């Protein structure tokens, strides 16, 4: 098998409604359902040398709806499901904060809740990534907004909360790739010509 050219240094994947089916404050690992085609689609990026990170807002921690143990258990199950399909994840980046929370330790504004980019930037620094050679995939404006701030490519999926965020994405970030499913979004990213960076085709 020939080596694939690496189009992206890393993908920053949202978890709920993107990588797995949206369940709303999921605390039980048995509720994890990978999005259709997730493993096969991501394996092509793994094989090309692209690192895969999960970046997830888990305001349920600040709201008292989830504990860190809940979130970590679900993340471990997501990691396991992908690992057995030959797709290792480079890391989970979790924001537990929310300004309107009820748990004092996590009830605050922060720089890591998407569309904040503190978590992405931590990975970019630690792994020596080039932001313009990264892509963000998600189902909310928050994901695309982070991509815009980073100068990364963006894919907005119409899964999860994607339909209700579509207008905001189209108005604020018209260069965003829209896709009906994760599988389609990953295929669209792979099909980008080398000259396309951050959704802005060169002349
Ligand atoms: Mg989501
Ligand atoms: Zn945060």
pLDDT per residue as tens, the chain (203 positions): 445 567 899 999 999 999 999 999 999 999 999 999 999 999 999 999 999 999 999 999 999 999 999 999 999 999 999 999 999 999 999 999 999 999 999 999 999 999 999 999 999 999 999 999 999 999 999 999 999 999 999 999 999 999 999 999 999 999 999 999 999 999 999 998 765 555 554 43
Global pTM value: 0.94
Name the pairing type of β-strands 91-95 and 134-138: unpaired
Ligand nearest to the CA of 93: 2
- Residue 67 Cα to ligand 2 middle (Å): 15
- Residue 103 Cα to ligand 2 middle (Å): 13
Ligand nearest to the CA of 18: 1
| CATH architecture of the domain with range 10-190 | 3-Layer(aba) Sandwich (3.40)
- Residue 94 Cα to ligand 2 middle (Å): 8
Q: By C-alpha distance, which of 109, 126, 113, 155 is closest to 12?
A: 155
Transcribe 68-124 into DSSP letters: HHHHHHHHHHHHHHHHTTT----EEEEE---TT-SSGGG-S--SSSTT--HHHHHHH
What single-letter DSSP state applies at residue 45?
H
Ligand nearest to the CA of 54: 1
- Residue 5 Cα to ligand 2 middle (Å): 34
User: Could you give the 3-state DSSP secondary structure of residue 8?
Assistant: coil
Which residues are tagged catalytic? 14, 16
């Amino acid at each position: 098998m020939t080596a694939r050219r690496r189009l992206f240094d890393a993908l920053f994947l949202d978890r709920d409604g993107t990588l797995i089916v949206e369940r709303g404050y999921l605390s039980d690992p048995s509720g994890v359902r990978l999005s259709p085609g997730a493993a096969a689609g991501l394996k092509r990026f793994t094989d090309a040398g692209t690192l895969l990170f999960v970046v997830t807002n888990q305001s349920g921690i600040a709201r008292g709806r989830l504990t860190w143990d809940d979130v970590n258990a679900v993340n471990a199950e997501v990691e396991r499901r992908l690992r057995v399909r030959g797709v290792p994840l480079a890391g989970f980046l979790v924001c537990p904060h929310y300004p309107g929370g009820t748990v004092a330790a996590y009830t605050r504004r922060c720089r890591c809740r998407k569309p904040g980019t503190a978590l992405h930037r931590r990975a970019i620094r630690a792994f020596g990534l080039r932001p313009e050679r990264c892509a963000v995939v998600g189902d909310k404006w928050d994901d695309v907004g982070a991509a815009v701030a980073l100068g990364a490519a963006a894919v907005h999926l119409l899964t999860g909360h994607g339909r209700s965020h579509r207008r905001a994405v189209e108005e604020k970030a018209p260069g965003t790739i829209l896709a009906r499913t994760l599988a389609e979004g990953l295929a669209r990213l792979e099909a980008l010509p080398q000259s396309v960076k951050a959704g802005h085709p060169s002349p």
